[in-house]
Amino acid sequence: MYSDGGYTVLQLLIEEVTKMPLGMKHSSFANDFTDTNISKAYGFFGQALLNYNYTEKSAAGLKTTVQDFLKFMLASMDGNNGEPKGREILKSENIDLILNSGLGTFKSALPDNSAEIGHVGSNKGWTSQYQIIPKKKMD
């Protein structure tokens, strides 16, 4: 069962236990909206919206770059040349436990029966989506 609260529990667990980043140096859950690289929130009709601070930081508060989010996605995938950076945190035996709908990652089967995982989400002024195929080897 999916729950934003599940993300919050995972956030607290990772913060408390690992204290290890994935090298995502341009990502933050801080409420700082002064960075000029942050995109602006817009409504359905193109009107500018105020920036909102969400209590559930891990479910709704990540500010990141494409390059940093790619590091997160690569940590979920198999690598041809050794394990991708981040696998020391995301152990192979735990990947399937972590990548489940209760923690916000949804799986679907592709025509070749390989798994595709991802998430779509939105809050007022924002929409995001990612999809990956974990078993595809990354060079």
Give a yes or no: residue 13 inside a domain. yes
Residue 24 lies in a domain: yes
For the chain, the domain total comes to 1
Weakest-pLDDT range from 6-15, 41-50, 130-139: 6-15
How many angstroms separate the Cα of 75 from the Cα of each of 5, 14, 55, 88? Answer: 23, 15, 26, 9
**Cα distances (angstroms) measured from residue 96 to each of 12, 13, 47, 100, 105:** 20, 17, 41, 7, 10
Q: Domain span at residue 22? A: 4-32+41-132
The predicted-structure confidence for 42-75, as pLDDT tens digits, reads as follows 998 999 998 777 777 777 777 888 888 888 777 7
Entry pTM: 0.65
Per-residue pLDDT tens over the stretch 83-125: 555 555 556 666 666 666 666 778 888 898 888 888 888 888 8
